[in-house]
Structure 1
């Protein structure tokens, strides 16, 4: 079954769609892999950045509007996210523009942050403009990180074609591991 599976063809056919869906939902891992695929000339870097920017912005816009309409009822029910909600609320009160821009870069805030901002008094137009800028910067940074990781790996291993699947699995495992370590650290801080 898998001997006829052509990873290049799958990436070329569904790569941009996977980047769009992955970045709409969360994004960093798929974006790094997209950058690596661009380095290997399976995808193009500018469309990777473009699709990721659009998807990241639209995902945050959706969460903003959920927060705007349902935040007063929804946020108090998210007991496990209370520390993140409090942190974003403090950021919004002190630095509203910076918080809108930076919330996508803060671990554990990517999903809850736009909802909290939506529940605040930030204007939708201001959020949209700053969110778009943040999404473009975010997508550019992570896609280029993947691109340069591909460059580094090519210098170490030479031709990366035989290693594409193991590299993708290692990147995913690394991102999951980093997320797990951060989660455990934040859980320990919350308990302390």
Structure 2
């Protein structure tokens, strides 16, 4: 009969946790739902570089899934596949760099270049005029909030540059928004990744009910629009 191994030979808790997470996911991260699964390939091949490039490029007006890849990378970090601190720092840096590239394009390229790039995110001349008025009216706090709003996130630096905002003021409020944005999504993704087995079980169990609910809501919305149009005609 051999005596039990000494306590100091036990594996560190972090290693044991990672093994448990990998065992729950079957030895590798399970497939992610929807568009998130399409981003698993770039992350597997390029890792942190995918986060850096996609987040940065999205933030000066090119329509790529930068926010989505940050979320997926955070889920990977929660599952022990990436370092969560590195994901957060890279996401923050890429967001700040991308928005400042957009600011420079707006400042030195003017409205013509802004509209040329903005067509990819449906930024028309009318919308650009409204965005400039909105920025000038609400002040620099909108730079921070815009980080969380689709379309504004992509063009916020360009519009700020076109409107003539001072660069240092833009940089400060943009960095604050990037820190809050990256911190929020990295934290949520990391928590989801650490409970990936439970989450995917729940998704599989309730996805049919969610689809039925969405179909009912869509049918009701279409019926409401048809009735409203008929009343207008009458």
Q: Fold-level match, TM-score > 0.5? A: yes
TM-aligned CA distance change 1:133 to 1:93, over 3 Å: same
Deviations 1:51-82 (A, max 9, x none): 00000110000000000011233245556412
Question: Runs of 5+ in structure 2 lacking a partner?
Answer: 1-27, 30-39, 59-65, 202-234
Q: Alpha-carbon deviation of 1:140?
A: 1.0
TM-aligned CA distance change 1:147 to 1:66, over 3 Å: same
Q: Alpha-carbon deviation of 1:110?
A: 2.0
From 156, 172, 181, the counterpart of 1:129: 172
CA contact (8 A) 2:100 2:171 kept: yes
CA–CA separation in structure 1 for the residues paired with 2:175 and 2:46: 24
> Higher helix share goes to which structure?
1
TM-score (norm 2): 0.58
RMSD over aligned Cα atoms: 2.6
Q: Does 1:93 align with 2:136?
A: yes
What corresponds to 1:55 in structure 2? 94
TM-aligned CA distance change 1:76 to 1:48, over 3 Å: closer
What corresponds to 1:114 in structure 2? 157
CA contact (8 A) 1:11 1:42 kept: no
What corresponds to 1:32 in structure 2? 71
Q: Alpha-carbon deviation of 1:125?
A: 0.6
Deviations 1:125-163 (A, max 9, x none): 1111111111111111111221122234322458xxxxx
Higher alpha-carbon deviation: 102-111 or 82-91: 82-91
| Secondary structure in 1 matching 2:147 | helix
Q: Does 1:81 align with 2:129?
A: no
Q: Does 1:65 align with 2:108?
A: no
From 46, 50, 57, the counterpart of 2:85: 46
Greater radius of gyration (CA)? 2
Q: Alpha-carbon deviation of 1:12?
A: 7.2
Question: Runs of 5+ in structure 1 lacking a partner?
Answer: 1-5, 159-192
User: Whose RCO is larger (CA < 8 A, sep 6+)?
Assistant: 1
From 105, 110, 130, the counterpart of 2:148: 105
What corresponds to 2:55 in structure 1? 23
Q: Alpha-carbon deviation of 1:109?
A: 1.7
Q: Which runs of 4+ in 1 moved over 6 A?
A: none
CA contact (8 A) 2:105 2:114 kept: no
Matched length: 152
